[in-house]
Amino acid sequence: MADEDAERRFAAVVKLLRTPGPVNEEYVAPQVEVCAQAGVADAMLLAASIAAAGWGRAQDWCAALDWLVAAAEAGDEAAQAQLRLLAGADGGDWRALADRIDLEAWRKARGADIAEPSPWIATSEGFIDGALCSWLIERAGPLQEASLVYDSVTGQAVQHDVRTNTVATFPLLDIDLPMLLLRERIANTVGVPVSHLESLAVFHYVPGQRFASHVDYLSPTRDRADIAANGQRTNTFLIYLNDDFDAGETHFIDLDRKLRGGVGGALFFRNVTEDGAPDLRTTHEGVSPRRGEKWLLSVFIRDKPQVFG
């Protein structure tokens, strides 16, 4: 049983992490571990993600799994579910499940088939399995919010009828170890450092919802400050999480090419040319499903490290 002081300290940390703006990782990460050591189960869960992400401390997957086991043994159902998913097995011996987890298999790069050589577009069927697809949909469902677009006049993210689907994003407080390992798999497949990935996002579309014609790269004129500080969005990586819907493709308009994956199938492409200039031919749209619901994971990849958390 955690003491009340540790519970209060952890609540303050959570409030800090939920507040927009930069966070002192070197202060927060040790605070979370102190609360976890004091028996706060939610702090144990967050300590696991912090160790796995290398946020405010050296990355340490052994420590991450140890904290996940501690949270599971404290009765945390989210930790227990993560261990079962990662181990691919049932049971209540949490240490034994952790010992079954093959971290290298989880983060290993997957093969790709070239759909278009220029602009470069690739697919990878079965990039993740059905169990992880279901996990991501379940995690994303309660977090769905209206999708936003960049307003070039105000510089702010706003709602617009060009994008009518909903989205869930996963900052440090909401991400889990399966997602962190998925980030590593994506990075290894594309051949970039995992630090270059933006936050994972899961899009949800129902009939009539769409993401109209757009590009994912940043404008060298309009977004000059963003590119200088955070880098260009060189790649986009999509994973189809279900297939029980009609239409719903990713439509590359200039190529007159529509692509969609099966359950767990990935679609990824370069937004820039070989010399780093925006590739106008990557203009695309997220087509509305005619029937059923469409769930799609998306992550942008930049050419500089990103602030995580």
Residue 268: both structure tokens together: 């990824």
Residue 101: both structure tokens together: 């987890």
Same domain, residue pair 14 and 146: no
Note whether residue 72 is domain-resident. yes
Give the chain's end-to-end CA distance (angstroms, integer). Answer: 28
Of 101, 124, 156, which residue sits at a domain end? 101
Note whether residue 108 is domain-resident. no
Cα(281)–Cα(254) distance, rounded to whole angstroms?
6
Helix then strand then coil, in percent of the chain rounded to 5, is 40, 25, 40
Cα(24)–Cα(29) distance, rounded to whole angstroms?
9
pLDDT in tens, the chain (309 residues): 568 899 999 999 999 999 988 899 999 999 999 999 999 999 999 999 999 999 999 999 999 999 999 999 999 999 999 999 999 999 999 999 999 999 999 999 999 999 999 999 999 999 999 999 999 999 999 999 987 555 544 455 544 556 789 999 999 999 999 999 999 999 999 999 999 999 999 999 999 998 999 999 999 999 999 999 999 999 999 999 999 999 999 999 999 999 999 999 999 999 999 999 999 999 999 999 999 999 999 999 999 999 886
Query: For residue 147, which of 232, 236, 210 has the smallest C-alpha distance?
Result: 210
Note whether residue 107 is domain-resident. no
Q: How far is CA 6 from CA 71, 76, 144, 236, in A?
A: 15, 17, 31, 41
What CATH number is attached to the domain comprising 192? 2.60.120.620
Instruction: Please tell me the predicted confidence (pLDDT) of residue 158.
Output: 46
- For the entire predicted model, the pTM comes to 0.94
Burial zone of 44 (CB within 10 Å; 0-12 exposed, 13-18 middle, 19+ buried): buried
Instruction: Please tell me the predicted confidence (pLDDT) of residue 75.
Output: 97
Cα(306)–Cα(196) distance, rounded to whole angstroms?
6
Instruction: Please tell me the predicted confidence (pLDDT) of residue 155.
Output: 52
Range list of H helices, the chain: 4-18, 25-37, 41-53, 61-73, 77-87, 94-100, 103-107, 130-140, 177-190, 224-230
Note whether residue 309 is domain-resident. no
